[in-house]
Structures are given as structure tokens and as C-alpha cells.
Amino acid sequence: MSDKSTQPVEKGFFEKVKETIEEFWEGTKDTAEDVKDAAEDTIDDIKRSAPVKKIAAAVKSSPKKTAAAVTKAKTAATKVKKEAVAKAKEVTTKAKKEASEIKAKATTKAKAVTEKAKKEVADNKKSVASKTAKAATAVKKKAVAAK
């Protein structure tokens, strides 16, 4: 027989949080790449649309439009990144809070179980001690009676 479990291994809470953060980060990078591609396409379109005779005019306006497109792309990428970081911080804070609550509940439960076990052990010791004392007394009486 195989020692391996046939059940899938379930991921822990912090592994799930880590994956969520990685997904946000990947989404941010993908969005930034999309914005960059769109800016490059816009630049190419501007270059193609300018007639050959008006190269000077196109060159003068093109850097402004290009700079505006790049600035817009950077702003959008920064905004997306900030949102992702904020969301990641929110998820992490929530995870830490839940973990501390779970830890506190576990500690309380462990203390209660420990106290209950100690009480039961003490009660059992008392009952065993009294039974042992009664048995010892009975043995002594029989020994005295036997003499």
C-alpha cells in the first residue's frame, strides 16, 4: 500500500494571502504593460498620420502628445500599483487580525482544557488515595485478626 494520501493538500491561510498578493502584483504588471503598449500604439499612429510635407509640424506636436501619453500611462500605472499595494495591505492587515483572534481563542481554549484536566486529575488522585487508604486499613485489620 502507498503511504501517500489520496486527498489534495489544503493550503494554509498565509499561503492563500501570499497567492492573493501575487495575483494583485501580476495584474498590476499586466495593466502597466497594456498601458505601455497603448502609448506606443498611439505614438505610432501619430507618426503615421502626419503627412510627409508637414514633418516639421508633426515633429513639434508629436513630442507634446508623446509626453502627454507617456505621462498619462505613468499616472495610470502608478494609480494601479497604489491600489494593488493598498489592497494587499488591507488583506494582510485583515489576515493578521484574524490570525491573532484565532490564536487568542486557541490559547483560551487550551487554558480551559488544561484547568479542567488538572481538576479531574486532582479529583482522581483524591479518590484513589481514599480507596488506597481504605484498602490498607482493611488489610491491617485482617492482618491483626489473623495473628
**Cα 138 from chain centre:** 65
Cell 505621462, residue located: 71
Q: 26: closest CA among 75, 73, 81, 79?
A: 81
Task: Judge if pTM exceeds 0.75.
Answer: no
pLDDT, mean of each 10-residue run, the chain (147 residues): 63 80 82 84 76 50 67 86 84 84 84 84 84 86 79
Domain-wise residue ranges, the chain: 13-114
